[in-house]
Amino acid sequence: MEVKIEASWKEKLREEFEKDYFSALTGFVREEYRTHQVFPPGNRIFNAFDLCPFESVRVVIIGQDPYHNYGQAHGLCFSVNDGTEFPPSLINIFKELNRDLGVPVPKSGNLERWARQGVLLLNAILTVRAHQALSHQNKGWERFTDAAISLLNRDRDNLVFMLWGAYAQNKGATIDPSRHLVLKTVHPSPLSASRGFFGCSHFSKCNEWLSARGLEPVNW
């Protein structure tokens, strides 16, 4: 199957694109876009991969599914388009980043600047129907993104995985901690952030770990 995705990921994921589940997923997604309002825009479904080639990945942050309100989702977990109001979880991410590294809260919630530095902002589910969270779960996306995570775990070394909340931690359960840094805490949502996300210092821990291995730290 011909899929428009960044070249290195296209090669790495080639076997997935030929599997029956992906064919069924593609059919479902196409019909959803044809008959409903679906986010992100079709040309941004694989944006996380397109901005972050396989060999460029240094950090992986795992989300669940895209924001489901207008103007928010553009294919990167936790990120929103320029000019869009910050969702609560993103507000808390910026609060912890400010506390941890003194980074001022940015004017834009667009995290493409992270992605271009090798931060793979990967949702487990890559599409969603407008105003219906998790409406595209169990359609095949989870299997596809599991494959991407498995490839990174197997074929790369010295990556940093940030697993925020039980869902992300379950998604990353097979990551090899002897080869990669696995950072875990609660989800940054207002429901849980005060129970460990604030104070987790994941951003500084990430950079310290990369620097200790002679790798460039992330300019968060």
- Catalytic residue ranges: 65
DSSP sequence for 35-65: HS-EES-GGGTTHHHHTS-GGG--EEEEESS
CA distance 212 to 131: 43
Strand-by-strand arrangement of the 181-185 sheet: 119-123, 59-63, 160-164, 181-185
CA distance 161 to 171: 11
CA distance 15 to 74: 26
- For residues 198 and 185, the answer to whether their CB atoms sit within 8 Å is no
Helix, strand, or coil (residue 10) = helix
196: how many CB neighbours lie within 10 A of its CB? 13
CA contacts within 13 A on the Cβ side of 198: 12
